[in-house]
A and B are shown apart, each in its own frame.
Chain A
């Protein structure tokens, strides 16, 4: 069944989360002096994972390929940068709602315009809106232009004068990002398995039929667009917080292209895939840069190969390990289990009662 995955997915994801979560314990022992840097890198990967996940809702679930998603990432970063006071930290209690509000409004307006278009036109119009904001930020007097802006203080998390979280502490910030990725994942998992998610699946499969059935598909798509945009803006806000810096390059189309690459590497439409994709992409780039000054060739070839031979990404490998998949297609299995027309690993599993989608 759609959005139900074999148990090993849960196991692998839990193990990986645990490994990352206890990194502060084993990192220094393994990496020594480098461990601080690696934790910072992990934090960044978590932020990108959140970003990639938000795009997956749009691309993988609804089937809307956006080439302008960095718009919302950048919007989150710039909202934080421009709304932060110069000489004191902003309170997170109003900063987060503000970022969400700004991005939701932007997503509503942009979404209203782009949702009407389909296929290639959707790709192109999202690209155009991304570029529009990019050039606006680039040339506007209030945004620091091409040089970008500093955010001198990370927002404070205080309640009645008591500091709840010290975001300047790298460890705290790391766990905040980790927690947000987990929350984001659970939220999207819930969303895709809810009836609303089922409608989105329907739209992905056959939007025309959904219209004929009686659904106002554009409303559903718009809501998904807004949710996705808000999540991306939170990721952008975190990214800007991490280094205290926002720059127009964060919202150009190259940034949008990169996050798409994370999706394809990880496996889209699975929500957990893009998390893996973000990590894989960053690790690959880090490695290639160390390997050769001509790293873009390696990166480019990796993407091309992934598209050609691994279209379902890492997630696809986990859900259907190559050997299993081959076995499943083999006549032997069909012979053993008559009546199963397409014995993929999902279909082989005995169907659960009613539509409860455990997994």
Chain B
């Protein structure tokens, strides 16, 4: 492996990892604070992508589409939390697993009713349609760099919120001990609604900015879901820092695993997860 090739793969792994972080961050927030396993997380990612596809063609502008789509995603999160999850907090994880499994079925089928079964795509926005040259025959889209930037910026914002705001203190406390949050005199119900909506919005937003990089197809959320679970478990449930490093680790592992050990490529992330859990049963950063 020559140095240039190594460098390019490093970039690919980083970019994939950052995107994974964005998708997984919502999941880990919801996990950590609310103790909810949201299997419908992948469906939210898919909905984000479909929303932006729909709105881009309706409004004729990608950025405008994202602006409109975010409130829609927040509203969806709000609706689900208030309608379904509100009564489940005191119950066993099993019920959350099943309820969100039911939600997957409903949301996937809604997608099919609204947008049909065809594969779609969103064109890369004009502003970032250029490419940089990596090697003599390989180029890299500006948009991918932009996505990396957005993911990094969001990671920074989330980190700042968690470190330096009152909300962050609550979130950190909640990840360690959920009863403590109630002890702090917080309106838990409002907090949960907020966290769930933000989590859904983050995920849907990941689907939105990833839309120009991927194909928008039914079931696109299912495969990403499991990968995100692995990221969150490796990092430590509820830890944003863990989700970040877990995502980078998995991004790198998938990228390099694909090239170096192709025979194990599909299993490599599960092997890593098993190894991590053997050494640290609660994840790397728990």
Residue numbers of A with Cβ under 8 A of B are: 59, 63, 65, 67, 113, 116-117, 119-121, 123-125, 127-129, 131-132, 135-136, 138-139, 253, 257, 260-261, 264, 268, 294, 296-297, 299-304, 306-308, 311
Is the CB–CB distance between B91 and A311 below 8 Å?
yes
Residues of B within 8 A of A116 (CB): 281
Query: In the complex, what distance in Å separates the CA atom of A300 from the CA atom of B263?
Result: 37
Is the CB–CB distance between B102 and A304 below 8 Å?
yes
Is the CB–CB distance between A257 and B274 below 8 Å?
no
Residues of A within 8 A of B95 (CB): 264, 307, 311
| Minimum distance in angstroms from A11 CB to a CB of chain B | 29
Contact of A121 with B233 at beta-carbon distance under 8 Å, contacts A264-B95, A304-B102 already known: yes
Cβ contacts A to B, 28 pairs, < 8 Å:
A65-B93, A117-B277, A117-B282, A121-B283, A123-B37, A125-B273, A128-B229, A128-B233, A128-B270, A128-B274, A131-B226, A132-B270, A135-B267, A139-B266, A257-B39, A257-B98, A260-B94, A260-B98, A261-B98, A294-B112, A296-B109, A297-B105, A299-B102, A300-B106, A303-B98, A304-B99, A307-B102, A308-B99
Tell me the nearest residue of chain B to A67, going by C-beta: B97
**Contacting residue for B108 out of A123, A135, A296, A308, CB 8 A:** A296
Residues of A within 8 A of B237 (CB): 120-121
Is the CB–CB distance between B106 and A127 below 8 Å?
no
Is the CB–CB distance between A297 and B277 below 8 Å?
no
Tell me the nearest residue of chain A to B265, going by C-beta: A139
| Minimum distance in angstroms from A271 CB to a CB of chain B | 16
Is the CB–CB distance between A131 and B270 below 8 Å?
yes
Q: A139-B263, A261-B102 are in contact. List 13 more A-B contacts (CB 8 A).
A: A113-B277, A117-B282, A120-B35, A123-B93, A125-B274, A135-B270, A139-B266, A264-B98, A296-B109, A301-B102, A304-B102, A304-B106, A308-B87
Is the CB–CB distance between B266 and A138 below 8 Å?
yes
Near A by CB (< 8 A), chain B positions 75-103 give 84, 87-88, 91-95, 97-99, 101-103
Residues of A within 8 A of B112 (CB): 294
Query: In the complex, what distance in Å separates the CA atom of A117 from the CA atom of B233?
Result: 11
Query: In the complex, what distance in Å separates the CA atom of A308 from the CA atom of B82?
Result: 13
Query: In the complex, what distance in Å separates the CA atom of A117 from the CA atom of B95?
Result: 19
Tell me the nearest residue of chain B to A258, going by C-beta: B101
Asked if B113 is at the interface of the complex by the 8 Å CB criterion, the answer is yes
Is the CB–CB distance between A59 and B94 below 8 Å?
yes
Query: In the complex, what distance in Å separates the CA atom of A218 from the CA atom of B278?
Result: 15
Near A by CB (< 8 A), chain B positions 91-135 give 91-95, 97-99, 101-106, 108-110, 112-113
| Minimum distance in angstroms from A302 CB to a CB of chain B | 8
Query: In the complex, what distance in Å separates the CA atom of A63 from the CA atom of B91?
Result: 12
Is the CB–CB distance between A303 and B99 below 8 Å?
yes
Asked if B261 is at the interface of the complex by the 8 Å CB criterion, the answer is no
| Minimum distance in angstroms from B282 CB to a CB of chain A | 7
**Contacting residue for B281 out of A117, A264, A268, A296, CB 8 A:** A117
Query: In the complex, what distance in Å separates the CA atom of A129 from the CA atom of B84?
Result: 29
Interface size on B, residues (CB 8 A): 44
Residues of B within 8 A of A139 (CB): 263, 266-267
Most chain-A Cβ atoms within 10 A of its Cβ — which of B39, B229, B263? B229
Asked if B244 is at the interface of the complex by the 8 Å CB criterion, the answer is no
| Minimum distance in angstroms from B207 CB to a CB of chain A | 20
Tell me the nearest residue of chain B to A295, going by C-beta: B109
Contact of A119 with B93 at beta-carbon distance under 8 Å, contacts A128-B230, A301-B106 already known: yes
| Minimum distance in angstroms from A205 CB to a CB of chain B | 12
Residues of B within 8 A of A131 (CB): 226, 270
Contact of A121 with B277 at beta-carbon distance under 8 Å, contacts A128-B233, A261-B101 already known: yes
Residues of B within 8 A of A260 (CB): 94, 97-98, 101
**Contacting residue for A303 out of B94, B105, B109, B226, CB 8 A:** B105
Asked if B271 is at the interface of the complex by the 8 Å CB criterion, the answer is yes
Residues of A within 8 A of B229 (CB): 124, 127-128
Query: In the complex, what distance in Å separates the CA atom of A131 from the CA atom of B108?
Result: 21
Query: In the complex, what distance in Å separates the CA atom of A257 from the CA atom of B105?
Result: 11
Query: In the complex, what distance in Å separates the CA atom of A128 from the CA atom of B35?
Result: 19
Across the A-B interface, give the 8 residue pairs with the lowest CB-CB distance, nearest first.
A300-B105, A303-B102, A300-B106, A132-B270, A135-B266, A304-B102, A296-B105, A296-B109
Residues of A within 8 A of B281 (CB): 116-117, 121
Asked if B31 is at the interface of the complex by the 8 Å CB criterion, the answer is yes
Tell me the nearest residue of chain A to B272, going by C-beta: A128
Fill in one digit per residue for B46-89: 1 if any A CB lies within 8 Å of its CB, else 0: 00000000000000000000000000000000000000100110
Fill in one digit per residue for B215-255: 1 if any A CB lies within 8 Å of its CB, else 0: 00000000000100110110001000000000000000000
Query: In the complex, what distance in Å separates the CA atom of A6 from the CA atom of B92?
Result: 26
Query: In the complex, what distance in Å separates the CA atom of A138 from the CA atom of B264?
Result: 12
| Minimum distance in angstroms from A128 CB to a CB of chain B | 5
Contact of A120 with B31 at beta-carbon distance under 8 Å, contacts A125-B277, A128-B270 already known: yes
| Minimum distance in angstroms from A261 CB to a CB of chain B | 6
Query: In the complex, what distance in Å separates the CA atom of A120 from the CA atom of B106?
Result: 24
Contact of A307 with B277 at beta-carbon distance under 8 Å, contacts A65-B92, A296-B108, A300-B105 already known: no
Residues of B within 8 A of A253 (CB): 226
Residues of B within 8 A of A63 (CB): 92
